[in-house]
Each structure stands twice: as structure tokens, then as C-alpha cells.
Amino acid sequence: MRNATRRDNREGVIGVWMVVALLALVGMAALVFDLGRLTLAAQHVQSVADSAALAGALQLPDYAVCEQRLQAIVDSNNGDRPVWPVVVDPMTDLVYYTEGTEVPGYGTLEDDEYAVAVTAHSTVTYSFARLFGINEVEVTRTATALSTGSGSPGSGIFFAGETDPSDYGIVITGSDHYMDGTIHSNTKVCFTGSHQVVEGDVEYLHDFRMVGSGHEIRGDSVESTVQPYPVDFQWSDYDQGPWDYVISGDLRQSGGSLPSGRYRIHGALRITGSDFSCSDSLFVVDDEIRFAGSGHQLDHVTLVAGDEIVFTAAMKRYSPFVDNLFAFAHKSGNSALRISGAWSDTWGILYAPNGELNYDGSHHELHYGALIANTIEINGSDGQFCGLGDDGSGGERSVRLIN
């Protein structure tokens, strides 16, 4: 009887310790699970902070546009039902640095350098840790991106490859266009209207005529020779994987945004509505590319189309992603690549080697880029076109994370 009682006591003690051990194991498993979620959440918040800082820095020193752009990146990453919603408060979570100021952990900014520090937050809700009275924790991560100007105005601005002596390679009409760079045509050139200003040379064959008043050629007007295109972009350079997204048909989008990546579209790309945005992307499209609407923004995007590329939208900004190339249209004939409307802000090269490139409207700006096509026609007023850098590179602002 006594032995039986002792055995029962031992079994009771063992049972208690088994329960304790089981609870400890459950607690450790819960801790590991929640810590794992916390680590993933922290990585996500850091990634969003990095992306937002880089996107915003690209707009500096325009602080208002910087804020809009980085907030758009945050909103895009949150999506409809985010696992860990990320918050960036423009009033408290953004710090801007200008030329000559000290950036903690980096140093003093030099001329034409700007930086933005972005602090991102997300609240992570625990699962098993709630059993121990721990419900949630806030994850905070910071990223600082530096924006640096690059390039300088150089010799390339307009280049027309047409060689037929009866055709005009370049026609500029309207008033008050300013062109900072050399204009070259393998055939005739014509300026009409008033107050067209060219800081560089005008190179032509057969005929160069100016109709109207107030035109200024501040370089030389030179009868030149037939020249090859200054670039040699080929469809095959871009039509190669790997691809992030392959679409077997048209891609149509009204407003909103598309995720960054490499797109192969076996159809057309058509964007409508307002305030569409996309960044860090390459689109290779079998058919046409067409943008209509208003407020669209393409940062670090390259468009390559088997047919025409048409912008009838009131765009905010375009900038290139690959090879300083923004748009490459393969269409032959009229209007292969056409930009119309007003107030577009374009960086990089627009290329239509087989057809006509049209710029229509007012107050268009081209920064550190070039219009290269079989023929070029500029219509409207108050356009400003600045050439490639002296080394052939673009003057797009470069951005990088510094802490």
C-alpha cells in the first residue's frame, strides 16, 4: 500500500512537470512564431522606407513632388489588404537636407546634392504572445536617400536620319522654343514662326531656311554630310528575359499604378484616366503604347513598342530606366512617336528610327536627352530642349541610399 502511494505521488509529480514542460514548449513555439513575424514585418517596413526614400529623392529639390511621390510608393505597397500597413507622416517622418547641410552618419552635402530621410512605421499584432498579455508592437525603420545631379548640356539634341533631298528632316514651328545643343539633319531644316533660339550648331544638307522673325542661331549653321544615328538601339537589345510579367494580349489600366518590373506584352499597352504611376520598369510591347488622360508619372521607365507610341495625356514626368532611353517606337511613317498636350517634363532619349517624331503643344521640357528619328516636327510654343551630357550620358539625377 505504501509503495503504491509513493508510485502515485511520483506519477503525479511527473504529470505536473510534463504540463509545465509542455507549457514551456508552447510558449517557446509562440515566441519563435511571433518573433519570426516581427522579423518579416521589420524587413517589409525597411523595404518600403528604402523604396519611398529613393523615389522621393529623385524629385529633389522639388519638395512638394518628392512628398507626393514617396507617399505614392507607400500607398502602392500597402495595397488593398496589407498584412502590415506602413505609415509615413509627412509632418513628422520626413527630414530634408540641402546643399551644405550635415546628414547624420554621412557628412556634408556638396553642390547640387540633396537628401531625404524617411521614417516608416507599422504596428505588428502578436498571435500567441497575447496569451502572455503582449498584444502588439510598433516597428520603425528609417532610410535616407541622396540625390545628385549628373551630366551637363552637350552637343546632341535633335537628329533626323532622313536623306531624301526633297524632304525636310527637321521642322520647327510656333514661337519661343529654346534648344540647348546641336541640331543635325541629313537633309533640309526649316524654322518658322518667331523667336526660335538654338544655343548650338545647326547641321543640314541641301537647305536651311528660317521664316518669321527673332530667330537666333548662337552657334554656326553648317552644311554637313550624311551621318549615322548617334545611337544603335535594337529591338533585340530589350526583347530578352527574364520577365517579371508576361501578358498574352493587351494591358489596359485606368489610373492607379503598376508594380515595378520587366513587362513583356504580346499586345498593346493602353493607359487612361488620371494620376497613373509606375517606376523602375521596362515595357516591351508588340503593338502600340498609348497614354491618355492626365497627371501620369513614369519614373525610371523605358518603353519599347513594335508600333507607335502616343502620349495625349497631360503628363507630369517621364524619365528613363535603361540606357538613358525613355521611348523607342518601331513604326514606320507618320507619327511613330508623338507627344501632345502641355507641360510634359521628359528626361532621356526619344527614338523613332523608322518614322516621324512629333512634339505638339506648349511648355514641354526635355532634359539631358535627345529626339532621334527619321524626321522630327516641333509645333507649339515655349518648349525647352536640353541636350545630352558631353560624354553622351543623360543628366537624370542619380539617387542612392546612404543610411
| pLDDT value, residue 153 | 42
Residues 238, 163 share a domain: yes
Same domain, 141 and 203: no
In a domain, 326, yes or no: yes
Q: pLDDT tens digits for 23-69?
A: 556 556 556 666 677 888 888 899 889 888 888 887 788 888 889 88
The last residue of a domain, from among 117, 148, 179 = 148
Residue 14 has pLDDT above 70, yes or no: no
Residues 215, 75 share a domain: no
Domain that holds residue 130: 2-148
Identify the residue whose cell numbers are 511648355. 363
Name every residue whose Cβ is closer than 8 Å to that of residue 22 and which is 6 or more positions away in sequence: none
Same domain, 136 and 222: no
pLDDT of residue 39: 85
| 386 closest CA partner among 172, 218, 203, 179 | 179
Same domain membership, residue 48 and residue 14: yes
Q: Could you tell me if 279 and 299 lie in one domain?
A: yes
- Whether residue 54 contacts residue 72, with contact meaning beta carbons closer than 8 Å, is answered with no
DSSP conformation letters of 112-171: TEEEEEEEEEEEEEPSGGGGGT--EEEEEEEEEEEEE------SEEEEE----TTSEEEE
Confidence of residue 74 (pLDDT cuts 50, 70, 90): confident
User: For residue range 310-344, what is the model confidence (pLDDT) as tens digits?
Assistant: 998 766 678 887 878 899 999 999 999 999 888 78
- Is residue 357 within 8 Å of 337, Cβ to Cβ? yes
Residue-wise pLDDT tens digits, 122-177: 988 776 666 666 677 888 999 999 987 654 444 568 999 999 999 999 999 999 99
Residue-level pLDDT at 309:
97
**To the nearest 10°, the Cα dihedral for 17, 19, 23, 24?**
20
- 401 in any annotated domain: no
Q: Rounded mean pLDDT of 10-18?
A: 55
374 and 263 in a common domain: yes
Which of 92, 126, 148 lies at the terminal end of a domain, its last residue?
A: 148
How many angstroms separate the first and last alpha carbons of the chain?
74
Domain count, the chain: 2
Percent of the chain predicted with pLDDT > 90: 47
Dist CA 26 CA 283 (whole Å): 50
What's the CA gap between 181 and 200, in Å, rounded? 5
**One domain, residues 122 and 162:** no
Residue 79: phi and psi, rounded to 5, are: 65, -160
pTM beyond 0.85: the answer is no
Mean pLDDT of the chain: 84
Question: Which of 148, 165, 185 delimits the end of a domain?
Answer: 148
Predicted local confidence at residue 27, as pLDDT? 57
243 and 105 share one domain = no
What gap in Å lies between CA 283 and CA 247, rounded to an integer?
11
- Asked if 210 and 281 sit in the same domain, the reply is yes
Work out the pLDDT band at 16, boundaries 50, 70, 90.
low
